[in-house]
Amino acid sequence: MNNRESERLTSSFVAGLFIILESFMYTGISHGQWVTNHDPVFQPSMAKPAAGVVFADPKFGTEVRRLTDARSAGIASIVPQYSKRQAWNSDQSRLLLFTGDGTARLYDGTTYTFLKTLDAVGGEDVFWHPTDPSLIYYSADNVLYSYDTGTETSAPVHTFDGYTWANTRGEGNMSLDGRYYAFVGQTYDTDTHFKDIVVYDLLLDSVISKMALPSTLSDFDWVSISPLGNYIVVDYATMDTGRYQGIEVYDRNLNFIWQKGLGAGHSDLGIDAQGNEVLVMDYYDSDLNCGIVKKLNLADGSSTDLIQVSVYFDMHISCRNESRREWCFISTFDAEGRLSDDSLSWFPFEDEVFALKMDGSGDVQRIAHHHSRRFSPSTPDRDNSNYWAEPHATVSRDGMRMIFGSNWREDVASDSSVDAYVVDFRSFLSVSDGPSPVPGRFTLSQNFPNPFNPTTAIDFQLSAVSHATVIVYDILGRKVATLVDGLKRPGSYKVNFDGRGLPSGIYFCRMSAGNFTGIMKMVLIK
C-alpha cells in the first residue's frame, strides 16, 4: 500500500469516526414534535433520578439529565446562578454552576463532568466573557476582576473609587461585545445608599457616563446595559409612575428616554427577530387578574403582550440565547398562594419550562416539567423556604438546551435537595428554526453585529466532514486573522473575530470547505 492510499484510508476512517460520533452526540431518547397548545399538561409524579441518569420527559418527550448530587457532596444546592446569567461560556465547552452559598463550580459544557471549584470567583456579578471561552468577569466590593479558568489567575480590571460596592445587584450583564458594563455605585455607613448609575467602557478603561441618584431613593432592584450596548435599563422595584420609579430606560450617556410603572417583576433583556433590543417582563394585570409576559422595545417603550398566565404562579425569564433570538424562555413555579395542587386544578404552563415567541402570536414550544417546589405547607413563605428551589432556568447560547435547578418535590425544606438538570432538545425533528444538528448544505452567514466594534460573531455550517478554513482579509487583500483551519465534522459553528488593534474599515471573511467558498463583507467602526 503506497502512502497516498494509506492517507486516503486514514482520512476515510477519521471521517467515518466523526460521523459515528456525531450520531451519538445528537441522537436523543426520542425524536418528537413540540407540544404547542396552551392546555393544562399535568406534571406526573416521578421518582427522583440518580445523578447522571438521562430520561425522556413523560409529557413532552425531551431529553432530561440530572447533573449533580448536592447531598452526597455535602453541599447546600448546586444550581445555575440565575435565568438572566448565561451558564455556558462562549463556545459552550464549559458550564458554570453555583452552590447555595455562592461558590462557583466549573463543569464540562458537553459531558457535564465536574472540573474544579473556582474559589477566587464570587460576588453579586459573575459572568462569562462574551467571546473569550476561558475568561470570567466578577465583582468584589468596588473592584471588577477577570479570572482565567485555564491559568487559574485573577487580575483587577478596574477599581471604582468612591463606592463601597459597584455591581448590577446580581441581575445585569455586559454588552455582547464585552465592552460596556453598567452598575450602581453604593456606599455604606449605617445604611446602604444608592449613589450613582455608572457606565464603564472596558476597551477605553474609562467611566464614560454617570448619573447621581436621589439621596432619598429606597427602592432599587437592578441595572444593566442592553445587549448591544445602546441603552441602560434600571428597575426601581416599584409600580409607580414618575422619575426614579418602575422601569426607566436611558441611552448610553444616561440621557433619560422613557419610564413605565412596571417594576418588581422578573425579566431579561434580549434582541427580537427584527433586531430590536427589548425587555421581556412579567407583569400583574389587576383588571384581568392574571400575569402577562410583555415585550417592551427599549428604543421607545412600545409594548407587545406575549402571553397570559395564571396569577397563582411566578416565573423567571431567560433571553440568553444568541441563536433563535425570536424566542424567549420561561420557567414557571407555584407562588406563595398555591401551596398544593392536583391534576384537576392544574393550570396551563404550571411548573414548566417553555419557549415563547416574541412576536405576539402566542406561539410556544413546551420543553419540560421541572418538578421543583419552593412553597408548600411545610415551606409556606419566603422566610421559611429554600430560594434555590426556584428553577431559574437558563437557555444555552445556541437556544437548544436549558439548565434549571430542582428539588424534585422531595425534602423541600432542605437546601441540599436542590440539584441542576439539563433538558436537551437538539434531537427534536421540528426544531427547524434553530441550529440544525446536520445542516443540509455548506453556508457562511453574515456576521453579527455588523457594523461592529471591536468584536463580532461569524456563523458557518458544514453538511459533511471537511477541512474548513475561515480567514479575514483587509480591503487590500492582506490576511489579518485565521479563525479556523482544520478538519471539522458536520454541524453549525460560531467563531468570534476581534478587531481590537485594527483600524476602522471594510474587511472580508472567506470560508472554504470541500468545494464551497463563501465571502462576506464586514465593517469595523471605532
User: Residues 30-53: what's their mean pLDDT?
Assistant: 89
- What does the pLDDT read at residue 437? 52
Confidence band of 438 (pLDDT split at 50, 70, 90): low
Which three cell numbers, joined as nine digits, stand for 214? Answer: 436621589
Query: Which residues lie closer than 8 Å to 14 by C-beta, 6 or more apart?
Result: 465, 487
Provide the edge-to-edge strand list for the sheet that holds 466-474.
479-488, 466-474, 505-513, 516-524
Here the cell at position 271 is 434582541
Alpha-carbon gap, residue 392 to 314, rounded angstroms? 11
Residue 318 has pLDDT above 70, yes or no: yes
- The Cα–Cα gap between 79 and 67 comes to 10
Q: Which three cell numbers stand for residue 320?
A: 440568553
Query: What is the Cα–Cα distance from 516 to 49, expressed in whole angstroms?
Result: 46
C-alpha closest to that of 107 among 479, 400, 419, 392: 419
Mean pLDDT for all residues in the chain? 90
Task: Work out the percent of the chain whose per-residue pLDDT is above 70.
Answer: 91
What is the predicted pLDDT for the residue at 32? 62
CA–CA distance, 232 with 158 (Å, rounded to integer): 20
Query: Taking 70 as the threshold, does the pLDDT of residue 296 lie above it?
Result: yes
Sort 191 into a burial class: Cβ within 10 Å, 0-12 / 13-18 / 19+: exposed
pTM of the model: 0.78
Burial degree of 286 (CB within 10 A; 0-12, 13-18, 19+): exposed
For residue 117, the cross-strand partners are 105
pLDDT tens-place string over residues 185-231: 999 876 779 999 999 999 999 999 999 999 999 889 999 999 999 99
Residue 315 β-bridge partners: 332
Residue 471 CB neighbour total at 10 angstroms:
16
Q: What pLDDT shows up at residue 419?
A: 98
Strand partners, 248: 234, 259
What digits encode the pLDDT tens for the residues 127-174?
999 889 999 999 999 999 999 999 999 999 999 999 999 999 999 999
Long-range (24+ apart) CB contacts under 8 A made by 7-14 are 14/465, 14/487
Of 130, 306, 347, nearest to 227 by C-alpha is 130
Show the domains of the chain with their CATH numbers: 168-265 (no CATH), 436-524 (2.60.40.3080)
What is the per-residue pLDDT for 511?
Answer: 95
Query: Span 465-483, mean pLDDT?
Result: 91
> Which of 522, 509, 506 shows the shortest CA–CA distance to 468?
509
Which cell numbers in the block locate residue 203?
476597551
Per-residue pLDDT, averaged over 258-266, amounts to 91
The Cα-based distances of 54 to 49, 141, 368, 405 in angstroms read 8, 40, 13, 16
Comparing 63-72, 73-82, 97-106, 513-522, which segment has the lowest mean pLDDT? 513-522
| 391 contacts 408 by C-beta, under 8 angstroms | no
